[in-house]
Amino acid sequence: MNKVDRNIVKMDLISVKNELFNNHRLYIQDLIKSLKVKRELPFSAYKIDLSLAYLKELYENIFPQKKHGGHLTSKNGEIKLNMSRDETYNERVSLSLRRDVPLLDRSIIINLFEGVKIRNRIPSFVELISTRVSLSKTTIQNRIRVGKFAINSDKIDDLILLYRKKEVSHSKVLKEIRKIEKRTIC
């Protein structure tokens, strides 16, 4: 990817962040709707992948112990919530959030938990999203993998741009990412 192409991906990520910060409740609803419905509305597959990669980064900043290989604070790395009967799940999650994280970021993450009925522990980002949209964890992980690769890598020259233009499928991009990762490991 040349410098111009890299800037396109960076601008797309900035656009995702701006939309998320301007109206995070609506943005998350549209993201969930796009994941549930196989049609590309209201977000494209590319935008879904960038959004999930960014939200995962934000989630792990707020809950670093839920990061893959992150610091384990209790047995099995679970964050115990110890909820009382009169507390709602969102109230307990909001009390569990790190205080050094900006209020808007915390508000975005609290909206991710809307409608989720997992009690007594905070799930990983992948578990949370897969529960909300009734998709497998592997599907969500693959989406995040493509999004992170688009944001961080210079190795897939035009493939990400073709994916952005909807000329290449998500599965083809994922297959190419696996090939590249396999080459770098060997």
Overall pTM > 0.85: no
The model's pLDDT over 23-55, given as tens digits with 9 standing for 90+, comes to: 988 898 888 888 887 665 778 889 999 999 999
Is the pLDDT higher at 50 or at 182?
50
| 8-12, 37-41, 64-68 — most confident range | 8-12
Task: Average the pLDDT over 133-137 and give the result.
Answer: 89
| DSSP secondary structure, 161-172, as one string | HHHHTTSS-HHH
Conformational region of residue 24, where left means phi above 0, alpha means psi within -120 to 50, and beta covers everything else: alpha
Q: What's the chain's length in residues?
A: 186
Chain Cα centroid distance, residue 87: 27
In terms of phi and psi (left: phi > 0; alpha: psi -120 to 50; beta: otherwise), the region of 120 is left
CB 50 within 8 A of CB 147: yes
Strand partners, 90: none
Amino acid occupying residue 68: H
